[in-house]
Amino acid sequence: MKSEEFHLGLIGWPLDHSISPAIQKAALSNCGFFGDYRLYPIPRLPEGNEQLCALLAQVRSGDLHGLNVTIPHKQAIIPYLDEVTDTAGIVGAVNMIFRQEDRLIGDNSDAPAFRVDLLRFLDIAGRHQSVVFPNRYKHSPEKSGGIPATALVLGAGGAARAVVYTLLQEGWQIIVASRRLTTAMKLVTEFEGQFTRRFRQLRSIPMDRDNLRRITDCHLIVNATPVGTISGEEASPWPFDLPLSAGSVIYDLVYNPPETLLVRTARNAGLAATTGLGMLVEQAATAFERWTRVSAPRTAMHFAACKSLGLFKDFSGSYQGY
């Protein structure tokens, strides 16, 4: 088993900011495996259709052992697969692919990874802010204050779907804000069908200054858009002249740069804020375990991620800046 070889990769567009190769190569090396993890930049479909089909054929043949999927293909790739897991089907997005006999299976590890990292973040943020997972205290009104926690999710793409899925399961009231309101409305409609008894917990609004200004009581703000990535690091999905809600905590799924403009703005305002680095590593660990069937070396993967970004990891479980 120690000499087993794995050829893995990531498809998306663009991929210049990705640190996934460093994370997965560290995992392979730590477990004594040979192999590699490559970036496969594939343009948005239908332009990238031929490249995508060729790459999936390599997975089907066994030349590639697994793929991660990122923007803009998390939803578009589903028709190319033979099957998706229950989670991926409900979320409506795929971020990892594996082969089962001669079938290509799509799964979504973003949702469980977001839950794990958000819990860790809120537990730490809760040391100085009263933010909790609603369902953790549903039998203790004195701890939750008797008020449903509200989350504002910026974006309505594949990453946002994983976030909404997780928060719905945990009892949050959710507002989805998107510049493309029809996309947000479609997300809400589809999730209403999956969570028939919880549809009143979910609504959509246009993502503009006037609508965001009206949201005054928000416990959690999640950026699930790519705005603020390294290629446009001085950009933020939040209007520059609109103060963030006092008492909110901020979770930015963007992890590169290691401190996005949104996170920096929140911290300067005295709010707890983090990037999605912890989520990235957790979903990478889940994918690694699916592909190799061995436990992922999470400590080594965290270290490789932080080294790639020029950060130092506190191995007690929190990142500097929490």
Q: Which residues are catalytic?
A: 74
For residue 221, give Cα distances in angstroms to 63, 150, 212, 224, 287: 41, 9, 11, 10, 27
Give Cβ neighbours of residue 26 (< 8 Å, ≥ 6 apart): 297, 300, 301, 303, 304
For residue 196, give Cα distances in angstroms to 104, 191, 202, 273: 30, 8, 11, 32
* Residue the block writes with tokens 């707890």: 272
Give Cβ neighbours of residue 35 (< 8 Å, ≥ 6 apart): 5, 6, 7, 8, 28, 65
> What is residue 194's DSSP assignment?
H
Q: From 64, 119, 100, select the one nearest 251 (Cα to Cα).
A: 119
User: Helices 277-292 and 20-30: crossing angle, nearest 10°?
Assistant: 50
Contact 48, 76 (CB under 8 A): no
Give Cβ neighbours of residue 217 (< 8 Å, ≥ 6 apart): 150, 245
Distance CA 19, CA 9 (A): 12
Contact 261, 238 (CB under 8 A): no
Q: Identify the H or E element spanning 27.
A: helix 20-30
For residue 115, give Cα distances in angstroms to 248, 283, 310: 18, 10, 25
* Cα atoms in the 13 Å half-sphere on the side-chain side of 61: 7
